[in-house]
Amino acid sequence: MTDKHAYFSELYGTSSDPYSVRTRWYEQRKRALLMAALPRARYRRAYEPGCGIGELTVELADRCDAVLAADFSEQAVQVARQRTRGMAQVQVERHALPADWPQEAMAFDLIVLSEVAYFLDEDSVRQLARCCERSLVADGTLVACDWRPDFDERASSTRAVHEALASIGLHRLVLHEESDFLLQVWSGDERSVAQREGIR
């Protein structure tokens, strides 16, 4: 894998939206699927490491009382802060995973790992999974959404990432597979949305 600092510095040095997350229908649709897959209409406190320029952060903020968003890239953090300016419920920080995981923070009832964990080697991915296990409240929601095709900067396969997260023992509520990406949602509460609402 290439040096992460150099990779992201070059990436965000040439564009404030290098993945075109604001304009590509692929990205817009993927965010819509992720948001629709969340089993609860509202969350108290969410953590979104790997927030990039904050497009998903904005949508999470509509459904969360508080969102801690973070990214490895200082340039991305600055763009995300601009994108979420005026949203009092959003805080954006620079975190390198898993070392900067907010261990001392209040527990989260939603953790969203979107297009971030495959930049870590498999040992770090396992550490990341343990961080999720420790930080998620008993009935919380864990989301992973990841690109499937290979690319040079990848350090772990999407399969390895999702297997590590599944190993912490939560109940899988959503499995959405496409040739482009894999989306899974787990929770400590095994009830379906219909069961939660008393429909069945």
- In this predicted model, what pLDDT tens digit does every residue of 55-76 receive, in sequence order? 999 999 999 999 999 999 999 9
- In this predicted model, what pLDDT tens digit does every residue of 13-38 receive, in sequence order? 788 898 999 999 999 999 999 999 99
- As a CATH number, domain 4-196 is 3.40.50.150
Residue 2 has pLDDT above 60, yes or no: no
Prediction pTM value = 0.95
DSSP notation for the chain: ---HHHHHHHHHHH-SSTT-TTT-HHHHHHHHHHHHH-SSS-EEEEEEES-TTSHHHHHHHTTEEEEEEEES-HHHHHHHHHHTTT-TTEEEEE--TTTT--TTSPPEEEEEEES-GGGS-HHHHHHHHHHHHHHEEEEEEEEEEEE-S--TT-SS-HHHHHHHHHTT-PEEEEEEE-SSEEEEEEES----HHHHTT--
Indicate the domain borders of the chain.
4-196
